A and B are shown apart, each in its own frame.
Chain A
Amino acid sequence: MAECVFILAAFTAPIEIGTDKMEMLWMFPVIAAIAMVYKATKMRVLFTKKYLIESLVLFLTISGFMILAIIVLNLLSWLITS
């Protein structure tokens, strides 16, 4: 019972998240969820292995483009401000 109360209490206050570079890692769970849901709705028949591979490929593709966008935007900001 006490554990349940502690678990519920964890949802009543935000966790500590800073503003450094490592906080960009929070984008990966969202990307994984988007990739998994998209592939689950897109595939005609859901074979486990094929589904996991296709979800992983989509996850890596989106992550790759996000990282590329981060690099390009940082480069632009550095060029403008320097």
Chain B
Amino acid sequence: MTANANNRSPAEQGMWLATVGLAAWMVPGAGHFIIRERKRGIVLFCVITALFTMGLYIGSIGVVNWESGRIWFYAQILCSPAVGIIGNFTKSGGYDVYGHPSEIGQIYTGIAGLLNLLCILNAVYMAYCGRGEMIGYEEEQESNG
């Protein structure tokens, strides 16, 4: 952990918040993990990744398509930048995607992305308040003692 939130300059604080936000977007739960909210980070990673993977399994990776389903793609990309790689694979339209499974797959992956947006905002807010540094410390003391 770097210096306490109260001791940082505004520029350092801004960089710290951006780092937390970026980490939370890159890997669901990573933002919480780096502010010492490790249990929370692990839970968020497992739930969001499971929901997204389930959506891909139900509707096939064709549900991530930034040409035919642009609005859904905006929600899906919030889950991780890695979704863009899937979008690159599927833009040719070579993957089967139709009917009810497509709808359910899009809903699952879209909601996973939107839930990650909630986690990104929550991680940045916690980092801004310095909560991870205070409460994470308390939790660690509790689990050690």
Q: Which A residues have a C-beta under 8 Å from some C-beta of B?
A: 10-19, 23, 26, 29-30, 33-34, 36-38, 40-41, 44-46, 48, 51
Contacts and interface: CB of A to CB of B under 8 A. Distances in A.
A39 to B, nearest CB: 9
- Majority secondary structure of chain B interface residues (helix, strand, loop or mixed): helix
Contacts of A13: 60, 95-96
B51 A29 contact: yes
Contacts of B105: 14
Given A10-B57, A13-B60, A41-B122, A19 B100 contact: yes
Interface residues of B, number: 38
Interface string B25-67: 0000000000001011001100110110010111111100000
B118 interface: yes
B44 A46 contact: no
